[in-house]
Amino acid sequence: MGDKGSTRRAAGHDLVASSPDRIRNVVLVGPAGSGKTTLAETLLAASGAIPRAGSVRDGTTVTDFEESEHVHGRSISLAVAALVHRDTKVNLIDTPGYADFVGELRAGLRAADCALFVVAANEGVDDSTRALWRECAAVGMPRAVVITKLDQARADYEGVLRQAQESFGGPAGSKVVPLYVPVRSGSEVTGLTGLLRPTPEAEESGLRGELIEAVIEESEDETLMDRYVGGEEIAEEVLVDDLERAVARGSFHPVMPVCSVTGVGCAELLDLAVRGFPSPAEHPSPEVFKPSGAAADPITCDKGGALVAEVVKTTSDPYVGRLSLVRVFSGTLRADQAVHVSGHFSSFFGEVAGHEDHDEDEKVGTLSYPFGKQQTPADQVVAGDLCAIGRLTRAETGDTLSGVDDPRVLKPWSMPEPLLPVAIVAQTKSDDDKLSQALSRLAAEDPSLRIENNAETHQLVLWTMGESHADVTLERLTERYGVHVDQEPFVVSMRETFAGSATGQGRHVKQSGGHGQYAVCHIEVEPLPEGAGFEFVDKVVGGSVPRQFIPSVEKGVRAQMERGCRLGHPMVDLRVTLVDGKAHSVDSSDMAFQTAGALALREAAAAATVRMLEPFDTVRIVVPDEMVGSVMSDLSARRARLLGTDKVGDDRTQVLAEVPQTELVRYAVDLRSATHGAGVFTREFAHFEAMPEEVAKGIPARG
């Protein structure tokens, strides 16, 4: 689609885009190890933005965004670097391939207008990549497929091409079609053959006719197919124009072979990005609202319009402060400009712990164009472009920046629920003093992290996307903020109740000089149906318990119910009847009868069978059809109650079940491992029910 002499080194002034139509925001997605970061560096080198692929600065590659990427040897956060090709600025957004860091991936999709799906020729398409393709298809994002690692051992370009067509295309993969095929000399890829041009090599490949027919099917010229079938040679420029329009509207997905080692295919891929992918002005803008929640007028990608921008990533440093990666959707953002910062997660997703709603005015400091960890200063940034803002202290990931006089709120991108709980406790008093602020800063960066202070179990719980996400979060606590924590076993909030009727006496009699303490009460306890709550009945006759102390007995019983009588979990669904008691004219008091009421319930519990009630969640698990049997068997082993299955699309099934929460603590990890990343699930509280006694015996008492 172009010549190889159209790239040039991206100097600082080259990165200044004058209008949205000269910008392309391209996100690279794919599984870990597919070669996304290497491809990004090869494209940067091909454009002259860096001397060569793999160039390093300060010990990290130019596409690293934070030190932990280099330490771990893997991409765990998105990074942005820009290049210039055909006088068009291309922002390359590199995203992690690990499922745990889906928050970074979703942020990259939000910042982009098109996606390159990177697939390794020696690995193929995995289930998580198929799921992401379906997600992009649902919102109509333009996509292309890049097959990398062509020179690797076990590389099978033709096999992976067929797999990509089967995975991403229609019934016959007709809309996922290669534009080029690799030319080899032995095992080395030396060049590409374009399939649009009528060359002997293109005809010999057998793929040219498939490509032309697929392009013609997408053409707005209804006579083109008849002319082609009639034997007319369709001009290449006509096919290119139709292909580019089809790619831009997301109905045609070209496949590009690229060798990152030699750079073969890079110029052609950059041509596709510039000419085939849409500019920000051609891509739909997010929904916009007023801070009150009312709908606002839609925005367009117009540099002269009202300012509306969004923080798609936040990093913070205890010494430098926050650095915000921002996508400008409308208007022009200028250095030293006053903006309104709006964060309204609850308006769209309900209350989210660690992400409280906020509205503040703040002054933008310095602007810059991001290049991995490097920054190029900018005076202003037009609609459609990406920039970094230093020291925007009140803005969090997902927040909207808009004009002070006309504040707006963009609906944040959706995130899957974090489902792996990690309970932590500060190691020292000094750590405890710093922990709350450190966690608040981490939550401001990472919308996929939830922070819960559980009032029942008294645990501080981090809800994470998986083990790697948890490890990185704890590592950042220590390395960035100097906060050291220990992990402790996660406690599921349970309930206790009586299995049958019982009686109890509470006797609290003490003499220690002066006024003593005297209170005696007799109670009867009986269980109530599930969900009935608590009833207190007064059947005292003859004034054995003075009227003013009867509420004190009830208060003491309620307090003991909150503390529990067996393992320290709250008691529920009881009727307690006060039948008798004794009082002293001087030594009886409110506190004495509260204590007696609590003692009476404990004595009744000691004489009766106390059952443990465990919470059950309604769980919806979506897996490939061939994995349904193994998933259902695993659920049965977890004491689940299977409720049924439903088809989801052509090749997936949803399994519906009720599962004890104690069996779901590590299910996020176990399901991903059992299904090789193809299974996903959601959960919501259903009800409490009695736990089998043999299981309850293994539950430790709360401290």
Tens-digit pLDDT profile for residues 494-550? 999 999 999 999 999 998 766 789 999 999 999 999 889 999 999 999 999 999 999
Return d(Cα 247, Cα 235) in angstroms, integer: 19
Bridge partners of 91, per DSSP, are 25, 82
Indicate if the alpha-carbon torsion angle 41, 43, 48, 49 is positive or negative: negative
The CATH superfamily holding the domain 420-488 is Elongation Factor G (Translational Gtpase), domain 3 (3.30.70.870)
What is the per-residue DSSP string for 596-631? HHHHHHHHHHHHSPEEEEEEEEEEEEEEEGGGHHHH
Contact status, residue 638 vs residue 663, Cβ threshold 8 Å: yes
Closest-CA residue to 145 (of 263, 275, 280, 29): 29
CA 433 to the chain's CA centroid: 29
Helix (H, G, I), strand (E, B) or coil at 437: helix
Tens digit of pLDDT for each residue in 155-180?
Answer: 999 999 999 999 998 644 458 999 99
3-state DSSP percent of the chain in helix, strand and coil, to 5 = 30, 30, 35
- Higher pLDDT among residues 520 and 198, named by residue: 520
Tens digit of pLDDT for each residue in 309-326?
Answer: 999 999 876 666 788 999
Query: Residue 325 CB: number of other CB atoms within 10 A?
Result: 24
Residue 134 pLDDT: 85
Tens digit of pLDDT for each residue in 88-108?
Answer: 999 999 999 888 888 899 999
Contact status, residue 128 vs residue 134, Cβ threshold 8 Å: no
Return d(Cα 471, Cα 119) in angstroms, integer: 27
User: Do the first three CATH levels of 420-488 and 612-696 match, i.e. the same topology?
Assistant: yes
Query: Residue 80 CB: number of other CB atoms within 10 A?
Result: 27
Query: Is the predicted pLDDT of residue 152 greater than 60, yes or no?
Result: yes
Residue 702 pLDDT: 76
What is the token pair recorded at 204? 């010999």
How much of the chain exceeds pLDDT 70, in percent?
Answer: 93
Return d(Cα 395, Cα 639) in angstroms, integer: 44
Query: Is the predicted pLDDT of residue 599 greater than 80, yes or no?
Result: yes
- Write the CATH number of the domain with boundaries 7-282: 3.40.50.300
Query: Residue 587 CB: number of other CB atoms within 10 A?
Result: 16
**Residue 298 burial class via C-beta count within 10 angstroms: exposed 0-12, middle 13-18, buried 19 and up:** exposed
CA distances to 94, 108, 205, 486, 586 from 465, in Å: 20, 17, 44, 19, 61
Return d(Cα 208, Cα 210) in angstroms, integer: 5
Residue 482 has phi, psi (to 5 degrees) of 65, 30
Task: Please measure the distance between the N-terminal and C-terminal CA atoms of the chain and give it in whole angstroms.
Answer: 69
Query: Is the predicted pLDDT of residue 391 greater than 60, yes or no?
Result: yes
Indicate if the alpha-carbon torsion angle 522, 528, 534, 538 is positive or negative: negative
- Write the CATH number of the domain with boundaries 495-608: 3.30.230.10
The DSSP element (H or E) to which 508 belongs, if any, is strand 502-510
pLDDT level of residue 394 (50, 70, 90 thresholds) = confident
Residue 678 backbone zone (phi > 0: left; psi -120 to 50: alpha; other: beta) = alpha
DSSP 640: -
Residue 55 pLDDT: 54
CA 520 to the chain's CA centroid: 56
Residue 17 pLDDT: 87
**Residue 538 burial class via C-beta count within 10 angstroms: exposed 0-12, middle 13-18, buried 19 and up:** middle
DSSP 457: T
Cβ neighbours of residue 405 closer than 8 Å, sequence gap 6 or more: none
Contact status, residue 537 vs residue 578, Cβ threshold 8 Å: yes
The mean pLDDT of 128-142, rounded to a whole number, is 86
Residues 288-410, CATH architecture: Beta Barrel (2.40)
Is CATH 3.30.70.240 what the domain over 612-696 is classified as, yes or no?
Answer: yes
Tens digit of pLDDT for each residue in 182-193?
Answer: 998 887 899 999
- How many residues are present in the chain? 703
3-state secondary structure string across 275-326 = HHCCCHHHCCCCCEECCCCCECCCCCCCCCCCCEEEEEEEEEECCCEEEEEE
Return d(Cα 108, Cα 415) in angstroms, integer: 12
Residue 173 backbone zone (phi > 0: left; psi -120 to 50: alpha; other: beta) = left
Domain limits, the chain: 7-282, 288-410, 420-488, 495-608, 612-696
Predicted TM-score (pTM) of the model is 0.88
Closest-CA residue to 671 (of 54, 112, 128): 128
Cβ neighbours of residue 178 closer than 8 Å, sequence gap 6 or more: 161, 195, 207, 211, 254, 255, 256, 257
Q: Which amino acid is at 49?
A: A
